[in-house]
A and B are shown apart, each in its own frame.
Chain A
Amino acid sequence: MKKEINNIKLENELDNLLNPVLPSKDFIDELQTRLRSKTSVVVEYPNYLLPIILISIGLFLGVAIIWVINKINKLIFSPGEE
């Protein structure tokens, strides 16, 4: 009987003290926005084409300049040797 009364008392206490709580409205709205925006995020992969073209042009120009300098050097020094 005593055990029964104790259980009833504990149940009443649980009933009185465990009330629903209100989450903040800002939190609910912000999370909803985050959930919506998450699906509309577009993943943009980097475009490697432009850097590859620029590096290729740079390398080509570098090689060309060295070739031209070599040619000029040869032209300058070759008459003296003759």
Chain B
Amino acid sequence: MKQNEKQLDDVLDRAIMGDEEAFSVLYQENVKKIYNYIFYRTGNIYDAEDITARVFQRALKHISNYKRTKVPFSAWLYRIAHNLVANWYRDSKHKRELPIENHSYIESNVDIPERQIEKQQEVEKLINAIHLLPGNRQQLLILKYVESMSNRDVGLIMGKSEGAIKSLYHRTLKELRRIIVDSSEIM
């Protein structure tokens, strides 16, 4: 594990110095995570691909200014993604309620087609409810559930303490529950 971390540190140093191959390694290491984050924030493949491309283009352009800290490199990419998604929301307010497009899920234990459709609808409802939360709360849920990160790692990425994340998480669950209850009452 330590060996791998050291290798990634070397790769990061080389990428900062302008080594294209090293940047490719960082790209391969992070592209799926960043794509997942953006997909769950935007709800469609087209925008997820477009914004993911812009995240890495921006990272490539500014990597020479990247300052090494104890925070993982992915935190920097998530911050770029978070800002670009915020711009996307600002520019397309009408897109707040989106049908989640069919996607191949990595961990899907659903084989029966009827159950798949049912699950798709449940995912859609849940994502629409999550989209009504403020951006930082959406980020918290996606990192915690899609990326299976601990509160500590989420805190590193969001620039908050573990305690602050724990408290934000409980407030987020409370608000999400309220949104789900409200939407089911309307229906």
Q: Which residues does A use to contact B, with CB under 8 Å?
A: 6-7, 10-11, 13-15, 17-24, 27-28, 31-32, 34-36, 38-39
Contact = CB atoms under 8 A, between A and B. Distances in A.
Instruction: Say whether chain A's binding surface is mostly helix, strand, loop, or mixed.
Output: helix
A72 to B, nearest CB: 65
Closest 3 CB pairs of A and B: A18-B145, A21-B103, A23-B35
B173 A7 contact: yes
B39 interface: yes
Interface of B: 20, 23-24, 27-28, 31-32, 35-36, 39-40, 48-49, 52-53, 56-57, 60, 103-108, 119, 122-123, 126, 141-142, 145-147, 173, 176-177, 180
B141 A31 contact: no
A49 to B, nearest CB: 32
Contact of B39 (A7, A15, A21, A32): A21
Given A35-B27, A38-B57, A18 B146 contact: yes
Contact of B145 (A15, A31, A35): A15
Contact of A19 (B20, B108, B173, B177): B108
